[in-house]
């Protein structure tokens, strides 16, 4: 139930808060919940709504998704090494 409420708050924050506040909340979600895959979905949504409209290779949706997956796994590994 906590996770569902956090997800609802995260989605509402996507539209009501600045993008960086929502992204910080998503980072917190990785440390609060096990396998918080919503981080990747939320990151892609942030890019779709607030993203750069350029034609550079790095700023395509595929590369953003790859970077978000890498960040997710790195933070998950850091989470396992920390003591809560």
Burial per residue of 33-48, b for 16 or more beta-carbon CB atoms within 10 angstroms, e otherwise: eeebebbbebbebbbe
Q: How many Cα atoms within 13 Å fall on the side-chain side of residue 56?
A: 7
Provide the domain count of the chain: 1
Q: What range does the domain containing 14 cover?
A: 2-81
Tell me the average pLDDT across 29-50.
81
Does the pLDDT value for residue 53 go beyond 60? yes
Q: Is the pTM for the entire model greater than 0.85? A: no
The helix/strand/coil state of 14 is helix
CB 14 within 8 A of CB 49: yes
Residues 59 and 36: their CA atoms lie apart, in Å, by: 24
Work out the pLDDT band at 21, boundaries 50, 70, 90.
confident
DSSP letter (8 states) at residue 56: -
């Amino acid at each position: 139930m906590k996770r569902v409420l956090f997800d609802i708050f995260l989605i509402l924050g996507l539209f009501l808060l600045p993008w960086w506040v929502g992204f910080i909340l998503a980072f917190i979600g990785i440390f609060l919940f096990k396998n918080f895959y919503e981080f990747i979905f939320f990151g892609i949504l942030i890019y779709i709504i607030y993203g750069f409209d350029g034609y550079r290779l790095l700023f395509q949706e595929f590369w953003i998704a790859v970077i978000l997956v890498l960040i997710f796994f790195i933070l998950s590994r850091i989470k396992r090494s920390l003591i809560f």
